[in-house]
Amino acid sequence: MVTFIRVLAAVVSALILVGGLIAVAAGQPASGLWAMVLGGVGIVAVTFERMRYRSESAEHSRADGGAGGGEPQVPQHPFTATDERFLDPSTGRMMRVYLDPATGERRYHAEG
């Protein structure tokens, strides 16, 4: 579902950008430039947006997010559970922080 929304946002942004180009070509530079900026920002946002609390490996594998948007499974070696926990404000789930001591990389997994 998230992939569909990202693709839809990219398509709408691209259409706005093209509409801005057409408006500039038709002699409407002010409205055309605003549309081009809006479409460009949308494309950049879709390109660089990431799922919350996910590692690069989970993001690249396109695996479904775990509860609370974190890792689908408890992170394994070399990650160790820390005492750090926080309540995710958007899902209300308690998230546990896991740390790789060698690199400092952090991963998150919903508890319970």
Domain residue extents for the chain: 2-48, 58-110
What pLDDT is recorded for position 68? 54
pLDDT classification of 20: cutoffs 50, 70, 90: very high
If DSSP codes are grouped into helix, strand and coil, which group holds residue 80? strand
Task: Considering only residues 21 and 54, tell me which one the structure prediction assigns the higher pLDDT.
Answer: 21
Residue 59: which residues within 8 A CB-CB, separation 6 or more?
50, 51
Is 60 exceeded by the pLDDT of residue 42? yes
Going from the C-alpha of 57 to that of each of 73, 75, 101, the distances in angstroms are: 12, 11, 18
pLDDT classification of 16: cutoffs 50, 70, 90: very high
What pLDDT is recorded for position 55? 60
- For the chain, give the percent of residues with pLDDT over 90: 34
- If 0-12 CB within 10 Å is exposed, 13-18 middle and 19+ buried, where does residue 1 land? exposed
Residue 20: which residues within 8 A CB-CB, separation 6 or more?
31, 32, 33, 34, 35, 36, 37, 38, 39
Helix (H) or strand (E) holding 10: helix 2-25
Is 70 exceeded by the pLDDT of residue 12? yes
- For the chain, give the percent of residues with pLDDT over 70: 77
Give the model confidence (pLDDT) of 48-83 as tens digits: 776 555 666 666 666 655 655 666 677 888 899 999
What pLDDT is recorded for position 35? 95
Going from the C-alpha of 85 to that of each of 21, 73, 82, 106, 110, the distances in angstroms are: 48, 17, 8, 12, 9
Going from the C-alpha of 81 to that of each of 34, 36, 53, 101, 106, the distances in angstroms are: 48, 46, 15, 11, 10
